[in-house]
Every structure is written in structure tokens, then in C-alpha cells.
Chains A and B, each alone.
Chain A
Amino acid sequence: MKIRQRLKISLATKKSLIGYLFVLPFVIGFILFFLYPFIQSVIFSLSELKIVPDGYILEYVQFKNYNHALFINAKFSRVFMETLLRMLADVPLIIFFSLFAAMLLNQKFRGRLLVRTIFFLPVIMGAGVVLAMERVDYMTQILQSGQDVQGGFLSAAYLRSFLLQLKIPEAGLEYIITVVGRIPEIIRASGIQILIFLAGLQSIPPSLFEASRVEGATQWENFWFIILPLISPLILTNIVYTIIDSFTAAHNELLGLIRDTAFGGAGYGVSTAMANIYFLAIAVILAISIAIISKWVFYHE
């Protein structure tokens, strides 16, 4: 009896040891390539960093770098606010659009596979150096302004006169025009989110819809009482993903500023200080949005 018990314990211990073995690479990587640099970045932001022939030396300067980033650097606070505001404006739009697109793709129609293939193209194309170059591209600008002149589909002037006829108040008008102008960008930033929503929609058991049909529910009620509660955890996931994605996007203006400050600007210290301020802001935004939304999220287990 005793022997058996000891054997059992040692088996459990053995299994947990094997578990450690499987996750060991991550533990090593986390310490070496995450925790250590993470702590360093805090230290760097409080120091002046000087490159010497065989390495670098640090000199503790308290909050000088933060002071420099916030109050001396001419561009930082402006770009910082702009980036944050744009992100806050974009997140709801991306979530709405990707949910809408996922529901569109979840329906059965001819050529669905082709349409899906096109919808997920931004996952492949919409990143990195290509997108960053498009921002400053002459050709893209020409074609867009050309559309404007001809009064094409997305023409701002045309839209403005149309909305004025509808007697929409001035403030709302500007908002609508900005949103419409950002449609292409919103669509191209939604690839992964659509994918996640689509997977969620397909994991809803069909029996629920059958039951609601028996009860005589409309599509509208189906959406509010079945679909929305069941995918609400994914809305949270997608909000978090979208915030992080916009934070790390290669064409993010603020990140460009941080990089330029490090390599050829006010130096490593100020640059890390900027990065830390930005990270702190994002962490606060993430925490607030998670706190607000998770109250409303429905978990069915």
C-alpha cells in the first residue's frame, strides 16, 4: 500500500517535471530576451547611455529623459496624442466592420471561397514595409485625388454636398466624412479580426438557431440574443488585438519617431523614455477597456 502511494506521488512529480521540461525553452527565453531587457529599458530610461569602445556605460540622471521627451522634444507630445486619438477612433470602427464582414462571410452564397480569399488578403499584404511605403507614395495619392476630382465613389466633396442636402449638422458631417475617408484603412486593418469572428460564428451550435426558429424569433432577435452574447468574449479578444496591432504597426508615426530618436536623435535614453510612456498609456487604455467590456461579456460555461 505504502509503496503504491509512493509510486503514485513519484509519477505525479515525474509528470510535472516533464511539464517543466516542455515549457523550459519559454522560461529561458522569457528571462533572457524579455524580462532582462524589460528591466534594462526601465534603467536606460532613467540614465544617460554612452557608447564606449568595448560596450556602453550608464549614468543615472533621474527623470531627465522623461522630461526631455514630454516637454523639450517638439514633436513627441503632439504625435503621441494624435496616435492615441486615432487609435481610439479606429478601434470601434474596426470591431464593427469586422463583425459585419464576418457575418457576411458566414452566409451561404456562390463564390464564397473566392470572396473569403480576397477578404483575408490584407493579412498577407497589409503589413510592414509595403504599407509604410504606401503612406508616402506619390501614385496612390494621385489616384486618390484623381477620384476626388471626378466625384468617384469615395469623393469627399461629393459626399459633403450629399450630406448637406440631408441637413446633417456640421459636427456630425465632419465626422462622417472622416470615417468614410478612412474606410479603406479600416478594411485593411481588419483581416485577423474577421478571421477570429468568423471562427466564433461557426462555433455557435446550430441547435440554438433551430430552437429560436421554433419559437418564431426573427433574424434581428437571433443577432441580439444568440450571436452577440456568444461571441462577446471574442469582441474583447479583438479589441485587445486591435489595440496591440495598431500599437506595433510598422507605419505608426510615433514608433518612427521613437526609432529616429534612438538612432540619430536625442539618444537611447530619451527614446526608451518615449517608448515607456507610450507603453504605459497603452497599458492603461487596455486595462480600462478590459475592465469595462469584461463586465458585459457573457461566458456560457
Chain B
Amino acid sequence: MELIRSIRLKNVRSQFWPKLKKACFNLIRWVLILGICYIIIYPLLTKISSSFMSQRDLFDKTVQWIPRFFTFDNYTMVFEQLKYPEAFLNSFILALLVSLLQLFSCTLIGYGFARFDFKGKRLLFGLVIFTLIVPPQMIMIPMYLNFRYFTLFGLIPGGINLLGTFWPFILTSITGTGLKNGLFIFIMRQFFKGMPRGLEEAAYVDGAGPLRTFFKIMLPGAIPALVIVFLFSFVWQWNDFFLTNIYLGNETVLPMMLHGLKYNVEAVLDQPISTQYASLLNNTGSLMFMAPLLLLYAFMQKYFVESIERTGLVG
């Protein structure tokens, strides 16, 4: 009897410590996770809360998160001053156009690097990586001037002004030299390299040409990588301020309208506005700017998170 009891006690004890250890680990883990999550969504919460505040709330020390004078005025004001429908449509068309073109060109280029052997392939691929390392800021002014007086090496007499149009974006996108396109080429190349060669060989034996093989066999198999490239391309184009500022500085596109929001409001009210009020408007504007992306992310997050792992990005 004694013996059995002591064994039982020992059993309980030996389970107790590992269990406590595990519980502690769990606790620490959740504290960390929740803390990090809080820091990440904190700016979003600030924006949401302040977008509903009226100016009086700003000077009220007791108002921290929940506005006392709840209002939609900020939204109506910003909606008008951003020319939201028009700016949204322009930005959306631009981002969609750019991301589709980049998807198309980077996929083709990546496939060329992954599956064909030709002279100078290593050098060319090195150049792809090089374009990734050189920041667009370095070639900003030549690019600006080249598109301002676009002659295509003197082929177009007199030159035409492509600034203020989508052409700079279109031209760089179809040639795989747009924003971070080196990364997309790299992702597609890695993915195609990871696909079994047997697939294409079977298609070649059946008499399909390289293009047909590419579109009918390889593309359907590359959907996870295509989704990733498309999403990144769309998101980066949407968020881009640098190139948009240079090429489309005076156009009605969301980043530019958001940037000039304060001045537009001042022009309409015909008086300078306080920093506090400008902050309310900017937060509301930022929220409206991000809303489409957040929506896209909510629908696509499964692809976004899961397919990174399947793209062989790191393989």
C-alpha cells in the first residue's frame, strides 16, 4: 500500500513540473504575442478613433480613445477634398494595370532564366539582382528628364512629355524594370526551377511549342507564386509615393491627393487650419487610403500567408 502510494506521488510530481513549465511558456508566449499585436495595430486604432473625433475632443484631456463629440464630419470633408471617387478610380486602375503588366513580364522573364540555357545567362541574372540593389532614387533625375523629353534615343523627333500619364509606369512594367521587379523575377525563377522538368518534356514530346507549353502547363502550376507576385506588386504600387510623386505629381491620384490634403482644405476654408485639425483630417485620409488594401488583405490573407511558404522563395 505504502509502495503504491509513493509511486503515485512520484508520478504526480514528475508530471507537475513539466506541466508548470509548459504553462509558464504558454503565458510568456501569449504576453509577447499580444504585446506585439498591440504595437502593430496601435496606429490603426489611433487613426480609427481620431477619425470620429470633432475638434473639441482634441483639447479635452479626458478624451483618450472614445470621442465625446462623435462625428462623421471628417469623413465628408476628406471624401470631398481627396476627390475620393476620381482619385480612387485613377489609383485603382494604375495599380491594377501595373501589377498585371509586371506579373506578365516578370513571369516570362523568370521562366526564361529558370528553364533555358543561353550565353550570358548568369551575367544577365546578376544584372537583375543589381537592379534590385540600386535604389530608384539614384536614377530618379535622369528618369524624370527622360520621360519629360521622351525621344527613345532620338527616334521621336522633338520628344514628347510622358509625365502626367501612365506611360512611365507602363513602359517600366512591361520590361520588368519597375518597382522591385527584380524581386518578382527572382521569385518566379525560383518557383519554376522547383517544378518538375518531366511536365515540359512530356508536352514537348506531344509536339507543343515552348510558348504553348508555358501557358498550358507551367502557368497553371505556378498559381501560388503568381498570387504572391500580383499581391506584392499591387500593394507596393498602391502605397508608392516616390515614383507617383515624380511621374504623376499634379494628377488626381490618391497618394498625391492625400499628401496635399491640408493645403486643399485650407484653400476651401480660405484660412489656415490648426495642426490638430490637420491631424484629424490626415488620419481620416490615411484610413480611407488604406481601406482598399485592408479589404484586399482581409480577403486574400490566406493566400498571402500560406502561399509564401509554397513559392519556394527560400529554397
| Interfacial residues, chain A to chain B (CB-CB below 8 A) | 15-23, 25-30, 32-34, 36-38, 40-41, 44, 54-56, 101, 104, 107, 109, 113, 115-125, 127-130, 132-134, 137-140, 143, 146, 153, 183-184, 187-188, 195-196, 198-200, 202-203, 234, 237, 240, 244, 247-248, 250, 255, 258-259, 262, 268, 271-272, 275-276, 278-279, 282-283, 286
Report the separation of the CA atoms of residues A30 and B302 in the bound assembly, to the nearest whole angstrom.
34
The reply to whether A116 and B305 form a contact with Cβ atoms under 8 Å apart is yes
Q: Does B42 contact A (CB under 8 A)?
A: yes
Q: How far is the CB of A63 from chain B (nearest CB, A)?
A: 18
Q: In this assembly, does B220 line the interface, its C-beta being within 8 Å of a C-beta of chain A? A: no
Chain B 41-78 interface 0/1 with A at a Cβ cutoff of 8 Å (1 = within): 11110100010000000000000100000000000000
A153 to chain B: which residues have CB within 8 Å? 35
Q: Which of A124, A140, A244 has the most CB of B within 10 A?
A: A124
**Complex: how many Å from CA A146 to CA B134?**
41
The CA-CA distance from A23 to B152 in the complex, in Å, is 20
Question: Can you name 4 extra interface pairs (CB under 8 A) apart from A113-B305, A139-B280?
Answer: A32-B152, A32-B175, A119-B36, A129-B255
Pairwise interchain contact B241-A129, C-beta atoms closer than 8 A: yes
Structural contact, B314 and A41, CB atoms closer than 8 A: no
Q: Which 10 A-B pairs have the closest CB atoms?
A: A29-B175, A19-B116, A22-B112, A37-B142, A128-B239, A40-B142, A138-B279, A29-B177, A16-B118, A37-B139
Please tell me which one of the listed residues B117, B255, B305, B308 contacts residue A16 in the complex, with CB atoms under 8 A apart: B117
Let me know if B139 and A41 touch, CB within 8 A.
Answer: yes
- Decide: A16 and B116 in contact? CB cutoff 8 A: yes
In the complex, 12 of the A-B residue pairs with CB atoms within 8 angstroms, ordered by the A residue number, are A19-B121, A26-B105, A26-B109, A119-B37, A119-B40, A124-B235, A125-B294, A133-B286, A134-B286, A203-B314, A248-B137, A275-B138
Contacts of B236 in A (CB 8 A): 127
> Bound state CA distance, A132 and B256, in angstroms?
12
> Across the interface, do B175 and A33 meet the contact criterion of CB distance under 8 Å?
yes
Q: List B residues 93-132 near A (Cβ within 8 Å).
A: 105, 108-109, 111-113, 115-119, 121, 124, 127-128, 131-132
Chain B residues in the interface with A (C-beta under 8 A): 26, 29, 32-33, 35-37, 39-44, 46, 50, 64, 105, 108-109, 111-113, 115-119, 121, 124, 127-128, 131-143, 145-146, 149, 152, 158-159, 171-172, 174-177, 185, 210, 235-236, 239-242, 245, 255, 258-259, 275-276, 278-280, 282-283, 286, 289-290, 293-294, 297, 301-302, 304-305, 308-309, 311, 313-315
**CB atoms of A188 and B175 under 8 A apart:** no
**CB-CB under 8 A for A29 and B176, given A130-B289, A199-B314:** yes
CB distance from B146 to the nearest CB of A (A): 6
- The answer on a CB contact under 8 Å between B135 and A184 is no
Within 8 Å by CB of A18, from B116, B152, B304, lies: B116
Across-interface contacts of B115 in A (CB, < 8 A): 19
Contacts of B105 in A (CB 8 A): 25-26
**Does A41 contact B141, Cβ atoms closer than 8 Å?**
yes
Contacts of B242 in A (CB 8 A): 128, 248, 250, 255
Instruction: Please give, as numbers and ranges, the residues of chain A lying within 8 Å of B131 by CB-CB distance.
Output: 30, 34
List the A side residues contacting B134 at CB < 8 Å. 34, 38, 279
Chain B's closest residue to A56 (CB) is B145
Q: In the assembly, what is the distance between CA of A1 and CA of B301, in Å?
A: 58
A120 to B235, CA, bound (A): 13
B13 → chain A, closest Cβ, in Å? 21
* From A29, A101, A250, residue with most partner B Cβ within 10 Å: A29
- Known A18-B210, A41-B138, A130-B239; judge A121-B112 contact (CB<8 A): no
Contact B142 A23 (CB under 8 A): no
B314 near A139 with CB under 8 A, answer: no
Contact A26 B185 (CB under 8 A): yes
- Minimal beta-carbon separation of A102 from chain B (angstroms): 11
Q: Which of B121, B127, B140 has the most CB of A within 10 A?
A: B140
Known: A23-B109, A130-B290, A138-B275. Contact between A15 and B239, CB under 8 A? Answer: no
Q: Are A19 and B112 in contact (CB under 8 A)?
A: yes
Minimum Cβ distance to chain A for residue B114 (Å): 9
The smallest beta-carbon distance between A282 and chain B, in angstroms, is: 8
List residues of chain A with CB within 8 A of the CB of B282.
133, 137
Give B39 Cβ to nearest chain A Cβ, in Å: 5
Most A CB contacts (10 A, CB to CB) among B113, B121, B301 go to: B301
For B315, the chain A residues whose CB sits under 8 A away are 203
- Residues of B contacting A282 with CB < 8 Å? 135
